[in-house]
Structure 1
Amino acid sequence: MSFAALIEEEARLIILRTLADQPDNRLNSSLLRDDLANRWAINKQRDWVHLQLDWLAEMGAVKATRIETVVIAELTTRGLDHVERRTVIPGVKKPSPAAV
Structure 2
Amino acid sequence: MTDFNEFLTQDARLVILRALTEQPDGRLNESLLSQVLDVYAHHRSREWIRQQLRYLADLGSVKITEVGPIMIAAITRLGVDHVERRTELEGVKRPSIGA
Q: TM-score, normalised by structure 1?
A: 0.94
Report the aligned-residue RMSD.
Answer: 1.0
Gapped runs of 5+ residues in structure 1? none
Measured against aligned partners, the alpha-carbon deviations of 1:13-62 in whole angstroms (never above 9, x if no partner) come to: 0000000000000000000011101x101100111000000000000000
Which 4+ runs in 1 deviate beyond 3 A? none
Partner of 1:85: 85
Matches within 5 A, 1:21-100: 21-37=22-38, 39-98=39-98
Partner SS state of residue 97, structure 2 = coil
- The answer to whether the aligner puts 1:18 opposite 2:25 as a matched pair is no
Partner Cα separation in structure 2 for residue 97 and residue 44 of structure 1: 27
Partner Cα separation in structure 1 for residue 51 and residue 66 of structure 2: 12
Q: CA deviation at 1:68?
A: 1.9
Gapped runs of 5+ residues in structure 2? none
Number of positions where the alignment pairs a residue of Structure 1 with one of Structure 2 = 98
Q: CA deviation at 1:70?
A: 1.3
Q: TM-score, normalised by structure 2?
A: 0.95
Partner SS state of residue 13, structure 2 = helix
- What letter matches 2:55 in structure 1? W
Partner SS state of residue 90, structure 1 = coil
Partner of 1:9: 10
Partner SS state of residue 85, structure 2 = coil
